[in-house]
Amino acid sequence: MRFLVIAGLLLASFTHSKAQSGFNLSEKGCATVTTPQEMEAITDYVNNPQVRAKTTSGVDSIPLSIHIVSRDNGTGRYRLDYLLSVLCSLNTRYAPVGFYFYLKGPVKFIKNTSYYIHDYSNGAQMMYQNNVPNSTNIYFVSDPNGACGYYAHGPEAIAIGINCALPNNTTVTHEIGHYFGLPHTFSGWENGNTPSNPEKVTRGLGANCSSAGDNFCDTEADYLGARWQCPYTGTKTDANGQLYKPYPTLYMSYSDDACMTRFSNQQIGYMQNRLVTNRSYLLNANSPTGNANIDTNINVIYPTNLLYSNRKTVSWNKVAGAQYYYVKAGLQLGSAIRQDTITADTSLTLYFPMVDNGTYSVTVIPISDINLCMKAQKRVVFTYTSATTSVPTVGSENSALTIYPNPANNNVTLKLNAKAGSYNVQISNVSGQKVYHQLMIVQSASSQLSVPTGNLPNGLYMIRVSGDNATWTEKLMVQH
């Protein structure tokens, strides 16, 4: 079962989307449409305490299923380090709400250009086909219907534009607010419209705050349905001639990302209530299994300074508290990532092209389903050499792994000279995806294992055998 998790987490080859500066939520806008029924539900909540179902102040765990969409050829997908940073910030922002988001299962990767750049119709198809039940499903795409993002009624999922999901953006926070029933603070003013009943600045006697705007009375009247920087310096007035003074700090507004820091008390109460009354399936989902405390003792075992052409596999120690590891590799200088993945294994085969005597780096970061904040990490700088090494192990063992025949047709035999014990045998393709996994029991100084290869496509593979604090890898060519 663990092997299936690993296989689901590893990536095919890709090219990262170039999202250097990104877009502010309010530059491209939000395509969520809040229905009249949802607005009526807010008015009912504000005016009728008896409909409020949330009575506890504890923290509710919310499962997230993450789908990262790329083009048909696998290029352009969202960066995984950005994803982890955004999800870490998400929990900080939702802490006052009493929501804690955790990663449910492996990140899922979808190669489909019509989903990568989509309209509402293709977006709905994407969601209906791929949604994980009893979870909050979020899809990271290039262009979600021409906007920064939206929450879709019906499929009940969220689409986010990758250029609006940089580490400091609030788009994911904003769209999850919609998912839990919140409208824009400027509701009614979207797309340059002027509502028939605009919200008045006045609170108290004569106020219409529970039936206009976002229907919350602890959010100031807001007419700004386009990007604005804080503080507000405009001179527009309401129907009574009073100056609008919108709050720039509310996540459901269109103020600059740097200005947004909070939800109002009524917004918080309504999201809590919505969870219990409309999204109780999230509370019935399987609880997170990971540890919030992750050991900081992470060490890259190989490479230390040289990466040999016949040992293009990075390995590291198992870290207490970690369920997964985020691994990224690329040039030593600059931010270009040539390969990255989230894996439950403690090794990864590097498949991106490297030049002889070129300098590269690899970073390994332990995480768990409830701790995605990348606090502990180990970065190693190494030089790639086209030379080969005769040392068969990563560690201090002197035993060797041999495989034959090579190339293989229907079967390959593994011969291992090692201490008695149990060893994991894994075969990976050049994309790093695991295609075979089996336990090998060594009872004497030399043991053999026959592995079927008849179902493997022609091509180059890496065989990795690990156990007793040692690791061996060999290249295998399959040729039918």
DSSP string, 167-199: TT--HHHHHHHHHTT---TTTT-GGG---SSPP
pLDDT of residue 216: 95
* The CA-based dihedral angle spanning residues 191, 197, 200, 205, taken in that order and rounded to the nearest 10 degrees: -160
**For residue 251, what are the contacts with CB-CB under 8 A and spacing of at least 6?**
93, 170, 173, 174, 177, 260, 261, 262, 263
For 237-283, the pLDDT digits (tens) are: 999 999 999 999 999 999 999 999 999 999 999 999 999 999 999 99
pLDDT of residue 407: 77
pLDDT of residue 89: 97
Query: Across residues 58-63, what is the average pLDDT?
Result: 90
pLDDT of residue 341: 92
Partners of residue 436 on adjacent β-strands? 427
pLDDT of residue 227: 86
Query: Across residues 388-403, what is the average pLDDT?
Result: 56
Could you tell me if 251 and 93 are in contact, meaning their C-beta atoms sit under 8 angstroms apart? yes
pLDDT of residue 396: 34
pLDDT of residue 28: 73
Highest mean pLDDT among 133-147, 220-234, 321-335: 133-147
Nearest to 338 by CA among 460, 475, 432, 434: 432
The token pair that represents 23 in the structure block? 């877009």
Could you tell me if 377 and 300 are in contact, meaning their C-beta atoms sit under 8 angstroms apart? no
For 195-210, the pLDDT digits (tens) are: 999 999 999 888 999 9
Instruction: Select the more confidently predicted residue: 437 or 458.
Output: 437
The residue ranges of DSSP E strands in 142-270, in sequence order, are 143-144, 149-152, 157-161
Highest mean pLDDT among 108-122, 221-235, 338-352: 108-122
pLDDT of residue 18: 33
Nearest to 192 by CA among 224, 220, 221: 224
For 21-31, the pLDDT digits (tens) are: 344 554 578 99
pLDDT of residue 50: 65
Quote the crossing angle between the two packed helices 36-47 and 265-278, to the nearest 10°.
110
For 397-448, the pLDDT digits (tens) are: 334 688 888 778 888 888 888 788 888 999 988 777 889 999 888 876 668 8
- Measured CA to CA, the distance from residue 109 to residue 112 in angstroms comes to 10
365: region left, alpha or beta (phi > 0 left; psi from -120 to 50 alpha)? beta
Residue type, 85: S
Place of tokens 């947004």: 260
Place of tokens 């969202």: 78
Nearest to 330 by CA among 68, 21, 16: 16
12: pLDDT strictly greater than 70? no
How much of the chain, in percent, has pLDDT values that exceed 70? Answer: 89
When pLDDT is cut at 50, 70 and 90, the band that residue 480 belongs to is: confident
How many beta carbons lie within 10 A of that of residue 74, not counting itself? 15
Q: Which helix (H) or strand (E) holds 364?
A: strand 359-367
pLDDT of residue 16: 36
- Tell me how long the chain is: 480
The token pair that represents 57 in the structure block? 């102040």
Nearest to 426 by CA among 454, 462, 392: 462
For CA atoms 247, 253, 257, 260, give the dihedral sign: positive
What's the chain's average pLDDT?
87
**The pTM is what?**
0.78
When pLDDT is cut at 50, 70 and 90, the band that residue 6 belongs to is: very low
How much of the chain, in percent, has pLDDT values that exceed 90? Answer: 61
Compute φ and ψ for 229, nearest 5 degrees: -100, 150
**For residue 170, what are the contacts with CB-CB under 8 A and spacing of at least 6?**
25, 93, 251, 257, 260
Instruction: Select the more confidently predicted residue: 468 or 383.
Output: 383
Instruction: Select the more confidently predicted residue: 367 or 420.
Output: 367
Query: Across residues 143-153, what is the average pLDDT?
Result: 96
